[in-house]
Amino acid sequence: MINFVSCLSSQRTALACLLLIGSAVAVRPVSAQSTAEETRQRLGEEYRLVQMVVGGDEVPLPEQPTITLKLVTETVLAGKASVNLYFAGFDLDDQGHIFWQKPGFASTLMAGPPELMQLEQTFFAAMASTKTVSFAGADLVLENVESVTRLTFRKTDFEAVLQALYGKMLFLRRMIAGGAEVALPPGATITLTLAGDGRVSGRAPVNSYFGAFKRLANGGIEMSGAFGTTKMAGPPELMQAEDTFLRALAGVERIRPSADGVTLENAAKNIVLDFGLSQ
């Protein structure tokens, strides 16, 4: 049997690892509206962890990276821990009881600095021990029965987070183009900088590029059809990666900022460009 602790301490690969936390968790409604109804209204919203109390002691949280949680559907939540992505399926009744679908939480197994890996293990253990969830304004709070373990998540302010990212250099961490994962050649770096006046610029594997973007309603974004670039030549594999990236960038339709980066994608999600403040 695999548990989440042994999972996180095993070989660091990008393969998903199941975190078997199969116990039922009760949910406590805090208003006349059922927790199930409120959950449905909050689908798609991202929350960031602002406080974590474990066994009555507050655990210090770094400014970066931010631990997040999102209600993806009525039966799936997901997010980013201090290093890895995680998700879990659940069932929720109108009285607010939640039942984690087997086999429980799942997580990627990327490696990170020891202190962040330790924080991640603490976070997963705390999540597994909680028994109630409540909504209070912009907050989502998970607690155990004795309330000595409590995780407070706060709704991410889309505009404020995006404004904070303007002018910062972001590094490409993941690229999906044409529905397929694209691995960058060794040593290749791709960056992106969005400016508040609608300019976009960065560095592709060989050349610098520049263009423009326009914000649309409901998280939409429209890039300039073609990007200007410098005209340097490079190895074929780098030039191919650059062409793939620029074509993908031109095809994005939505922008999803987070505290530590931004994800650009098209509606079909066969184009996904994930950028972070660090590589």
Mean of all residue pLDDT scores within the chain: 83
In the predicted structure, residue 171 carries a pLDDT above the cut 70: yes
**CB of 161 closer than 8 Å to CB of 47:** no
For position 141, which CATH number holds?
Answer: 2.40.128.270
Q: Which pair of tokens denotes residue 98?
A: 């939640």
Structural domains counted in the chain: 2
Range of the domain at 96: 4-156
Do 174 and 76 sit in the same domain of this protein?
no
Contact 204, 246 (CB under 8 A): yes
Q: Which of 131, 156, 181 is the last residue of a domain?
A: 156
- Please tell me whether residues 165 and 268 are part of one structural domain: yes
* Same-domain check for residues 115 and 165: no
Same domain, 150 and 169: no
Provide the 10 A C-beta neighbour count for residue 236.
9
What's this model's pTM, rounded to 2 decimal places? 0.58
Confidence of residue 50 (pLDDT cuts 50, 70, 90): very high
* pLDDT tens figures, 98-115: 777 888 788 988 888 999
What is the Cα gyration radius of the chain? 20
User: Do 148 and 166 reside in the same domain of the chain?
Assistant: no
pLDDT tens by residue, 192-231 = 999 999 999 999 999 999 999 999 987 899 998 789 999 9
The rounded distance, in Å, linking the Cα atoms of 82 and 58 is 17
pLDDT band of residue 30 (cuts 50, 70, 90) is very low
47 shares its domain with 100: yes
Instruction: Name the 3-class secondary structure at 180.
Output: strand
- Write down which residue in 156, 184, 201 finishes a domain: 156
Domain stops at, among 107, 133, 156: 156
SS3 annotation, 128-145: HHCCEEEEECCEEEEECC
Residue 264 structure tokens: 């650009």
pLDDT in tens, 231-243: 999 999 999 999 9
Co-location of 23 and 93 in the same domain: yes
Side-chain-facing half-sphere of 278: CA atoms under 13 Å: 5
